[in-house]
């Protein structure tokens, strides 16, 4: 098990890896790239693959004994990965559709998982050149392009007007519309702040938004880095039974529906 000091020492290396991957992504973003569909009909670009190759190589250089599970690497049977106590969980380009649509709202996500929970997380925005990062017991931080870091915290108490992080597509779903309608009954009004990829969870971690409800399919690499950051900022990411998300506990790598929030006093599932 990594000590808090070990994790603090590890963070700058992981941030650097995420930045390098971001540079690779931006080189392709500004070019005429092609899009393919994977077997599950989700899109993939050469930026996803190039960033993945760089991250896998660099993480192996940091510690070759830690296995790596990435969205763009070969699938690893649960029988094998269930034996892992500690491993890297990577989404080399979170928000591929945002990348394709040129919305700028995509990120590089790298998490270190220990005993089914994230203990280190880095999310890097290649366009804004900023990072969100955290490790267990050390707080959460925002790092700008000038290497100036500041501590971030969630909004621990919701106000009368609640701020919801989301995407324009998810805001059109009937399930989320019902959730928002029930929120409005309690809080009088709400405002949706639109954002892509794991940056929505970072909005909660920063205290810009009160809650992000993801009521649709995601995978474990979509949430792991964000979960560490949100928790260290004082918030939580839970399933709809209000239990913290856990990782690598089953054959499937799909997440349940989940909430990201700062105010622990609210049972967010009451609004479903």
* Angstrom distances, CA of residue 222 to CA of 38, 150, 198, 216: 17, 24, 7, 12
Grouping H, G, I as helix, E, B as strand and the rest as coil, residue 71 is: coil
Beta strand pairing status for 35-37 and 68-70?
unpaired
Say which CATH number the domain at 231 has.
Answer: 3.40.190.80
- The predicted-structure confidence for 126-180, as pLDDT tens digits, reads as follows 999 999 999 999 999 999 999 999 999 999 999 889 999 998 776 678 999 999 9
Q: Does one domain contain both 142 and 223?
A: no
Grouping H, G, I as helix, E, B as strand and the rest as coil, residue 186 is: helix
Residue 231 near residue 138 (C-beta atoms within 8 A)? no
Q: Does one domain contain both 89 and 185?
A: no
Q: How far apart are CA 157 and CA 136, in angstroms?
A: 23
Q: Does one domain contain both 124 and 216?
A: no
pLDDT at residue 87 in the model:
98
Q: Does one domain contain both 142 and 183?
A: no
Grouping H, G, I as helix, E, B as strand and the rest as coil, residue 170 is: helix
Total H helices, total E strands in the chain: 7, 14
Q: Does one domain contain both 168 and 110?
A: no
Range of the domain at 189: 161-271
Total structural domains in the chain? 2
* Below-50 pLDDT ranges, the chain: none
Looking at 111, 132, 152, which one is the last position of a domain? 152
Count of other CB atoms within 10 angstroms of residue 53: 16
pLDDT at residue 160 in the model:
80
pLDDT at residue 173 in the model:
87
Q: Does one domain contain both 23 and 147?
A: yes
pLDDT at residue 194 in the model:
93
Q: Is the pTM of this model over 0.95?
A: yes
Nearest to 224 by CA among 38, 81, 42, 94: 94
Only one residue has tokens 């089953």, namely: 250
pLDDT at residue 168 in the model:
75
Task: Indicate the helix (H) or strand (E) that contains 27.
Answer: helix 4-29
């Amino acid at each position: 098990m990594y000590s808090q000091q070990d994790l603090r020492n590890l963070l700058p290396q992981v941030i650097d890896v995420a930045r390098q991957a971001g540079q690779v992504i931006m080189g392709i973003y500004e070019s005429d790239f092609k899009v393919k569909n994977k077997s599950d009909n989700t899109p993939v670009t050469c930026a996803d693959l190039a960033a993945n190759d760089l991250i896998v190589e660099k993480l192996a250089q940091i510690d070759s004994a830690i296995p790596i599970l990435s969205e763009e690497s070969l699938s690893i049977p649960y029988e094998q990965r269930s034996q892992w106590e500690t491993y890297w969980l990577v989404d080399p380009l979170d928000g591929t559709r945002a990348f394709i649509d040129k919305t700028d709202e995509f990120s590089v996500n790298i998490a270190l998982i220990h005993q089914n929970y994230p203990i280190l997380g880095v999310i890097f925005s290649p366009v804004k050149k900023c990072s969100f990062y955290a490790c267990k017991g050390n707080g959460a931080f925002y790092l700008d392009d000038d290497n100036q870091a500041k501590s971030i915290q969630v909004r621990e108490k919701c106000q009368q007007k609640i701020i919801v992080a989301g995407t324009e597509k998810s805001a059109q779903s009937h399930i989320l519309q019902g959730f928002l309608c029930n929120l409005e009954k309690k809080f009088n009004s709400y405002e949706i702040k639109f954002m892509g990829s794991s940056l929505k969870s970072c909005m909660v971690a920063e205290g810009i938004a009160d809650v992000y409800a993801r009521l649709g399919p995601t995978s474990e690499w979509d949430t792991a880095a964000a979960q560490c950051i949100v928790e260290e900022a004082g918030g939580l990411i839970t399933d709809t039974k209000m239990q913290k998300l856990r990782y690598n506990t089953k054959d499937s790598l799909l997440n349940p529906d989940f909430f990201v929030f700062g105010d622990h006093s609210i049972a967010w599932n009451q609004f479903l």
